[in-house]
Amino acid sequence: MPDEKLSGVDKAAIFLMTLGESTAAQIIKHLGPREVQKIGTAMATLQNVSREMVKVSVDEFVVDMQKQTPLGIGNDDYIRKVLTDALGEEKAKSMIDRILIGGSTKGLESLKWMDPRSVAELIRFEHPQIVAIVLSYLDPDQAAQVLSLLPENTRGDLMMRVATMDGVQPAAMKELNDMLEIQLRGGAQGQNSGMGGLKCAANILNFVDRSAEAKISEVISEHDPELAGRIQDLMFTFDNLSEVDDRGIQTLLREVSSDNLVLALKGADENIRTKIFKNMSQRAGDMLKEDLETRGPVKLSDVEAAQKEIITIARRLAEEGQINMGGAGGEAMV
């Protein structure tokens, strides 16, 4: 892997591998389930790590650390500002709620470490509002997988509940958390916990396969056309990449594998292809065109999977502030 192709996750994986097993294990204990999965995957797939790649990763860590101080400030406003600046308002809100308001979330948090099928089985027979709260709590990609494993005739209703959810009372969160703790053992006051809402529903639907997403959107539209339109405005699809500026596309292309790009473009319209080719060197563009021409028929499911993986990368870059993703409604999607 060329040095310039190293992603942030790759650099983190390389840095951890330089620390030795014991130290790396102590650090990984403090990461979330999605972070562990991403870094673990990167560790497993990295090959032929050169001295230069290690140097880049370590040097970048040292530079970042030099910007920090050992000063710890136990102030709520300070914590809110730091997390919001670091993660963005939307992503930081649920974490702030858990840190400053929500108290123990062991039961709910443990769901993030479970495979989607196990989560679906656990919540399948719960009240739809409870299922909607759980889906809102999970990361969008995991929530989408869980949703796809629930009965098809319930999915539209669940997404409507997610979209119209306006926070969850702490007492209700504690009750749900305790219930899940009991089930998984298999035995507060303040603001509402910031879960659910239009953007949460849109984020989940972004990760659902197209046929299922179309059916869910149709159900929502039949019950509430205005709600369906507002969700659609916040969704970001592969076609929306044409709205990303040239600099953002160039940043995105540095993170995307050639094979995924070829697969994704097999099902893309001409506007997207033109946008991609415009932001590549002549040589790279010619090679990509040749790959597209020589690649035989591919499964639609493979094309959609490649497109969703690219969108996932784009969303991560947007969360990191490296690119701006303008949705159909013109707002940044993070």
127-131: long-range contacts at Cβ-Cβ below 8 A with a sequence spacing of 24 or more?
A: 128/154, 128/157, 128/158, 128/161, 129/161, 130/176, 131/158
Q: Which residue has the higher pLDDT, 259 or 48?
A: 259
| 135 closest CA partner among 169, 106, 115, 108 | 108
Same-domain check for residues 125 and 207: yes
> Is position 207 within any domain?
yes
Maximum average pLDDT range among 83-97, 184-198, 210-224: 210-224
For position 165, what pLDDT does the model report? 86
Percent of the chain with pLDDT over 90: 6
Contact residues for 332 (Cβ-Cβ < 8 A; gap 6+): 318, 324, 325, 326
Residue, of 293 and 196, whose pLDDT is higher: 293
Domain boundary residue, one of 44, 66, 88: 66
The residue from 234, 252, 284 where one domain ends is: 234
Considering only residues 62 and 163, tell me which one the structure prediction assigns the higher pLDDT: 163
If you average pLDDT over residues 160-189, what whole number do you get?
74
One domain, residues 114 and 137: yes
Does residue 94 fall inside a structural domain?
no
327 found inside a domain: no
Residue 72 has pLDDT above 50, yes or no: no
Claim to verify: residue 187 and residue 302 sit in the same structural domain: no
125-147 pLDDT per residue, tens: 888 888 998 898 888 888 998 99
Q: How many CA atoms lie within 13 A of 75 on its CB side?
A: 7
- Please compute the mean of the pLDDT values over residues 79-89 and round it to a whole number: 63
CA gap 255, 87 in Å, rounded: 20
289 in a structural domain? yes
pLDDT at 150: 92
**Total number of domains in the chain:** 3
What band does 242 get if pLDDT is binned at 50, 70 and 90? confident
Domain that holds residue 299: 238-319
pLDDT at 42 over 70: yes
Whether 188 shows a pLDDT value over 60: the answer reads no
Do 226 and 260 fall into the same domain? no
Amino acid occupying residue 8: G
Residue 310, pLDDT > 70, answer yes
Of the listed ranges 101-115, 165-179, 233-247, the least confidently predicted one is 101-115
Q: Where are the beta strands (DSSP E) in the chain?
A: none
pLDDT of 3: 45
Q: Are residues 313 and 206 in the same domain?
A: no
Domain contains 93: no
Q: Is residue 174 part of a domain?
A: yes
Least confident span in 58-67, 115-124, 146-155: 58-67
Q: Residue 233: its pLDDT value, please?
A: 74
Q: Are residues 210 and 113 in the same domain?
A: yes
- Check whether residue 222 and residue 163 sit in a common domain: yes
Q: What is the CATH number of the domain that holds 264?
A: 1.10.220.30
Residues 153 and 261 reside in one and the same domain: no
Residues 145 and 228 in one domain: yes
The pLDDT value recorded for residue 192 is: 46
**Band of the pLDDT at 97, cuts 50, 70, 90?**
low
Contact 80, 106 (CB under 8 A): no
Contacts of 333 (CB under 8 A, 6+ apart): 202, 234, 236, 315, 318, 325, 326, 327
pLDDT greater than 50 at residue 161: yes
Residues 119 and 205 in one domain: yes
From 183, 205, 234, the end of a domain falls on 234
Residues sharing a CB contact under 8 Å with residue 177, sequence separation 6 or more, in sequence order? 104, 105, 106, 107, 108
Locus of tokens 């560790």: 43
Are residues 117 and 196 located together in one domain of the fold? yes
Q: Do 266 and 245 share a structural domain?
A: yes
**For all residues of the chain together, what is the average pLDDT?**
77
User: Which position has the higher pLDDT, 126 or 177?
Assistant: 126
| Residue 334 domain flag | no
Per-residue pLDDT tens digits for 7-21: 778 888 888 888 777
For the segment 106-124, the average pLDDT, to the nearest whole number, is 81
Residue type, 283: R
Out of 52-61, 219-228, 246-255, 284-293, least confident range = 52-61
- Return the higher-pLDDT residue of 231 and 172: 231
Nearest alpha-carbon partner for 160 in 95, 207, 204: 204
Is residue 148 assigned to a domain?
A: yes
Indicate the pTM of the whole model. 0.46
What is the pLDDT at residue 187? 44
